[in-house]
Amino acid sequence: SQTIHQWPATLVQPVGSPLSLECTVEGTSNPNLYWYRQAAGRGLQLLFYSVGIGQISSEVPQNLSASRPQDRQFILSSKKLLLSDSGFYLCAWSVFGQGAPGANVLTFGAGSRLTVL
Amino acid sequence: DAKTTQPPSMDCAEGRAANLPCNHSTISGNEYVYWYRQIHSQGPQYIIHGLKNNETNEMASLIITEDRKSSTLILPHATLRDTAVYYCIVRRSYNTDKLIFGTGTRLQVFP
């Protein structure tokens, strides 16, 4: 069965420090991968998505970047964190398909809660 | 992808059916209706999706109107564990597979 892992689960970082959040998926090949962010009391914002190794699409301009060095690994990074980067970061995966049962259904990880002080 | 409109909040008594509405009047013929929910401090969870016909699974039922401009998610016997934010999303099945979440409906199930 497929599983998705995100780490760390919680972190507190000072302003200006770097960030690296990691996400890995097991049990599937060539998944679509996503990073979402949820600020406190707000909705889910799509940050990045990737349809393959090295292929990253950014949805909104921001202080963050994403990389996909391996098929089932997705990394969210920042060189210098801002206070506004605080939030709940969620990684998700799906398998592209046309109408197949379960196609295009996103499965989310447990999330990484980032507090920037 | 078509936009959706949901009430910001709803209440439901435990054991009763919870009916969550969603308007998607600009939906096009090749767009599906998806429902997810997010329990506090967790990642969203897929519930159900459909194109034209009503759908049912172990979690819920999805009723789509004949003109497809609105739908209703039904939790037949709501429990306290169903308290969550419910998101209705419409999108094509064969594009880049992005899911854009709106603000959803906050369902509070009370004893």
Residue-wise pLDDT for A45-104, tens only, equals 899 989 899 999 988 778 899 999 999 999 999 999 999 999 999 999 987 654 455 567
Res. B93: pLDDT tops 80: no
Residue A109 pLDDT level (bands cut at 50, 70, 90):
very high
Res. B25: pLDDT tops 90: yes
- A50 to A45, A59, A92, B10: CA distances (angstroms): 15, 11, 11, 35
Stronger pLDDT, B45 or B95, i.e. the higher one: B45
Q: What's residue B53's pLDDT?
A: 87
- Chain B residue with CA closest to A90: the answer is B43
Instruction: Report the pLDDT averaged over residues B77-82.
Output: 97
Q: What's residue A15's pLDDT?
A: 97
3-state secondary structure of A83: helix
Q: Which range in A99-103, A108-112, B89-93 is most confidently predicted, on average pLDDT?
A: A108-112
Q: Which range in A3-7, B50-54, B99-103 is most confidently predicted, on average pLDDT?
A: A3-7
Give the percent of chain B with pLDDT over 90: 72
Q: What's residue A99's pLDDT?
A: 47
Res. A32: pLDDT tops 80: yes
Q: Give the best residue of A25, A37, A44 to mutate against chain B (max B CB count within 10 A).
A: A44
Stronger pLDDT, A2 or B70, i.e. the higher one: B70
Residue numbers in B near A46 (CB within 8 A)? 98-101
Q: Give the best residue of B35, B55, B92, B98 to mutate against chain A (max A CB count within 10 A).
A: B98
Residue numbers in A near B100 (CB within 8 A)? 46
Query: Which candidate from A88, A94, A108 shows the least CB-CB separation from B97?
Result: A94
Res. B85: pLDDT tops 90: yes
Complete DSSP assignment for A9-63: SEEEE-TT--EEEEEEEES-SS-EEEEEEE-TT--EEEEEEEEETTEEEESS--S
Q: Is A51 in the B-facing interface, judged by CB distances under 8 Å?
A: yes
Please name the residue that has the structure tokens 């419910």: B86
Instruction: Report the pLDDT averaged over residues B41-46.
Output: 91
Q: Is A30 in the B-facing interface, judged by CB distances under 8 Å?
A: no
Q: Is A104 in the B-facing interface, judged by CB distances under 8 Å?
A: yes
Q: What's residue A98's pLDDT?
A: 45
